[in-house]
């Protein structure tokens, strides 16, 4: 499965248009704040609730008169959470890169209603750290995934003001994830070299992740647009008799530049 997955990711990236072919590009940066909920049974059986910050950058490219779109997103997240008794805390951080290709249908003409379907290749690195320390105070997070994805974008006017509403949903299909086995220490993995199913194939059953984005944007100038939206990222993993999830909800404020 590993060879098949890596071949699929390489194939997806190869099919993206070269820089010389790109005619229209959009750079989109958003910053968001909101609640987080964290669980990692390798570190603790407790749920941790808190708040976090997310920075999301998006690059979109397409050629004139082509139905194909290329999207590259980078997402950095940091959260701090406490248990119910406020006696323990965790710090969570992650970096995700998403690279995808979409086929677009112009439903109403002039891109007024644009529906897109495609797939994302996702690479993820992160950590969860228990501030109380102990024998295993931290958990590493690493995964790659292929994710079907869909986007709907609608342009309309309110009086003299043009607005753009956009919604995106990403679901898992197959992937690979790193995880220690139940009761296995990182010393055993990295110092003693005791491999115990630490690279695990995942599907939408063992890693039922879901990511959704919604925003409404209003142009300020011909090239700059401001936006307000929501990013929900619900990451879950259940392998090697361990459970992990990080749920984040963010109110996002962003700016778009076209060039």
Question: What tens-digit pLDDT sequence spans the chain (259 residues)?
Answer: 555 555 555 555 545 544 445 467 889 999 999 999 999 999 999 999 999 999 999 999 988 888 999 999 999 999 999 999 888 999 999 999 999 999 999 998 888 899 999 999 999 999 999 988 767 789 999 999 999 999 999 999 888 888 999 999 999 999 999 999 998 999 899 888 889 899 999 999 999 999 999 999 998 887 888 999 999 999 999 999 999 999 999 999 999 877 6
| Number of domains forming the structure of the chain | 1
The domain spanning residue 239 has which CATH number?
A: 2.40.128.100
Domain that holds residue 104: 2-15+24-258
**Prediction pTM value:** 0.87
In whole angstroms, give the CA distance from residue 32 to residue 235. Answer: 17
**Smallest Cα–Cα separation from 173: which of 16, 1, 37, 13?**
1
DSSP-based three-state secondary structure for 119 = strand
In whole angstroms, give the CA distance from residue 58 to residue 255. Answer: 11
């Amino acid at each position: 499965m590993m060879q098949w997955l890596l071949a699929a990711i390489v194939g997806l990236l190869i099919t993206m248009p070269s820089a010389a072919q790109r005619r229209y590009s959009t750079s989109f940066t958003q910053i968001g704040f909101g609640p987080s909920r964290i669980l990692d049974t390798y570190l603790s059986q407790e749920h941790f609730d808190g708040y976090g910050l997310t920075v999301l950058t998006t690059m979109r490219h397409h050629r004139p008169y082509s139905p194909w779109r290329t999207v590259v997103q980078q997402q950095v997240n940091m959260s701090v959470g406490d248990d119910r008794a406020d006696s323990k805390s965790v710090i969570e951080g992650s970096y995700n890169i998403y690279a995808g290709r979409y086929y677009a249908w112009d439903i109403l003409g002039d891109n007024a209603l644009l529906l897109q379907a495609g797939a994302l290749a996702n690479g993820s690195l992160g950590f969860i750290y228990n501030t109380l320390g102990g024998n295993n105070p931290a958990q590493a997070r690493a995964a790659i995934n292929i994710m079907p994805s869909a986007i709907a974008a609608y342009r309309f006017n309110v009086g003299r003001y043009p607005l753009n509403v956009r919604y995106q949903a990403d679901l898992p299909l197959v992937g690979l994830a790193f995880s220690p086995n139940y009761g296995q220490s990182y010393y055993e993995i990295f110092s003693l070299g005791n491999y115990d199913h630490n690279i695990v194939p995942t599907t939408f059953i063992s890693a039922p992740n879901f990511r959704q984005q919604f925003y409404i944007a209003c142009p300020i100038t011909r090239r700059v647009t401001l936006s307000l939206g929501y990013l929900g990222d619900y990451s879950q993993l259940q392998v090697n008799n361990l459970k992990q999830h990080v749920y984040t909800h963010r109110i996002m404020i962003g700016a778009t530049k076209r060039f």
